[in-house]
Amino acid sequence: MAGLRDTLELLSNEIGPSGREKAVRNRLREMFSDPSDRFSVDALGNAYVYRTGAGDEPRLRVLVAAHMDEVGFIVTRVEKSGLLRFEPVGGLDARQLLAKRVLIGDDRVPGVIGAQPPHLLDDDDERRAPKMESLAIDIGAASEAEAKAKVSEGDYGAFATRFSVLSGEDSPGLAGGPAGGPAGASWPTVLGKAFDDRAGCSVLVELLRTSYPVDLIGAFTVQEEVGLRGARVAAHREAPDAAIVLEGTVCDDLPLPEDEDETPVTRLGGGPAVTLMDRRHVSHPGLLRLLEETAAAEKIAIQYKSPGIGATDAGALHLAHEGVPAITVATPCRYIHGPAAILNLNDLHATFALVGAALRRLTRDYLTFDR
């Protein structure tokens, strides 16, 4: 499955903040250039790929979704000094932005989010978290006119991080984590931006390279980070029998003081994370049972995302028409919504294996509440 890691690299390096996912969509269009892929785009910008099932009719129609957009920012004002004021697009934390490299607009103009050096800070400043409205982007322009020759108000931007391999070889075991690989294998980790949700997009790309007993609709959605907007359109357009959302989700497995609880939200190397409930969705019990039974049968370690945290495209998908059974499966990632994230390739491969096996096992019995 070397293709999964390579796909993640290609998609992670593209720039695609919410509402400006064109570069990611065009990369996907290249990956699905064969007419049999039936690649299409709706009015909002969602991209679709279809795989007709190999099972007997009538087949279930299953929508598997992953969002293309990433957190970023939009330029709101060019100062007389040449500095750029901006607003966040999606959930950015001002504490993570200081002195970070960014790229702005279609021309990918490089810049840095300004930060005062420690020499100029007093004790109160050092302890105080910066406010978003106090930050500005420096593109090296000496005046408003010089800056406007390169960028304009309304230009979108994102972090300039490039994908890289931190450790290990891409030869994972499906159980998740170092214990799932060959004896003595290193922990295969990679670094990049926008693993939320280019990790999910990468898994979906690989799932679409084969067929299943069900009719598979691959939906690469837009504007998830600003309100699950693309997923709502996709669900009403396709009216699927069931939906599986692929995500890159939060890790909380860093060391804590000895007297604090070290129970993580999810941990790197623990396998795919299955959402039980979040702020917008309670997972369908039949699909939860499907994933748990599949994981047990395939000997794939899974973990559970703590209830009540965040939201995914499932929050919009499950409300379409008369209701759509839905669930979210995510690859754990450290430092999501920041300049750089880290994931374990074992977890990524295990997410692919779990969802692929679940699609092969899925029947209508799993979509009812009566069993």
CATH number, domain containing residue 155: 2.40.30.40
End residue of a domain, out of 124, 159, 194? 159
Residues 34 and 177 in one domain: yes
Residues 309 and 244 in one domain: yes
Q: How far apart are CA 346 and CA 350, in angstroms?
A: 6
Angle at which helices 195-207 and 2-12 cross, to 10°: 140
pLDDT recorded at residue 1: 43
Mean pLDDT on 19-32 = 97
CB 202 within 8 A of CB 195: no
pLDDT band at residue 56 under the 50/70/90 scheme: confident
Mean pLDDT on 22-30 = 97
Residues 58 and 78 in one domain: no
pLDDT recorded at residue 265: 77
Catalytic, out of 14, 21, 70, 224:
224
**pLDDT for 289-348, tens place per residue?**
999 999 999 999 999 987 777 899 999 999 999 899 999 999 999 999 999 999 999 999
Q: How far apart are CA 306 and CA 285, in angstroms?
A: 16
Residues 89 and 192 in one domain: no
Place of tokens 């497995």: 253
Name the nearest CA neighbour of 77 among 163, 2, 129, 154. 154
End residue of a domain, out of 105, 136, 159? 159
pLDDT recorded at residue 177: 44
Residues 247 and 267 in one domain: yes
Residues 294 and 346 in one domain: yes
Residues 206 and 227 in one domain: yes
Range of the domain at 143: 72-159
Residues 48 and 85 in one domain: no
Residues 105 and 213 in one domain: no
Question: Tokens representing 331?
Answer: 């690859």
Is 169 in the active site? no
pLDDT at 50 > cutoff 90: yes
Residues 295 and 208 in one domain: yes
Q: How many domains does the chain have?
A: 2
What's the angle, vertex CA 38, arms to CA 33 and CA 41, rounded to 5?
90
Q: How far apart are CA 150 and CA 139, in angstroms?
A: 9
pLDDT at 160 > cutoff 90: yes
Question: Tokens representing 134?
Answer: 């106090």
Question: Tokens representing 177?
Answer: 């984590």
Torsion of CA 67, 74, 25, 311, to 10 degrees: 0
End residue of a domain, out of 118, 140, 159? 159
Residues 298 and 151 in one domain: no
Of all residues in the chain, the percent with pLDDT exceeding 70 is 87
Mean pLDDT on 348-353 = 96
Mean pLDDT on 2-10 = 90
pLDDT at 25 > cutoff 70: yes
Question: Any idea what the CATH number is for the domain that residue 13 is in?
Answer: 3.40.630.10
pLDDT at 229 > cutoff 60: yes
pLDDT recorded at residue 306: 76
Residues 177 and 289 in one domain: yes
Of all residues in the chain, the percent with pLDDT exceeding 90 is 76
pLDDT band at residue 236 under the 50/70/90 scheme: very high
pLDDT recorded at residue 103: 97
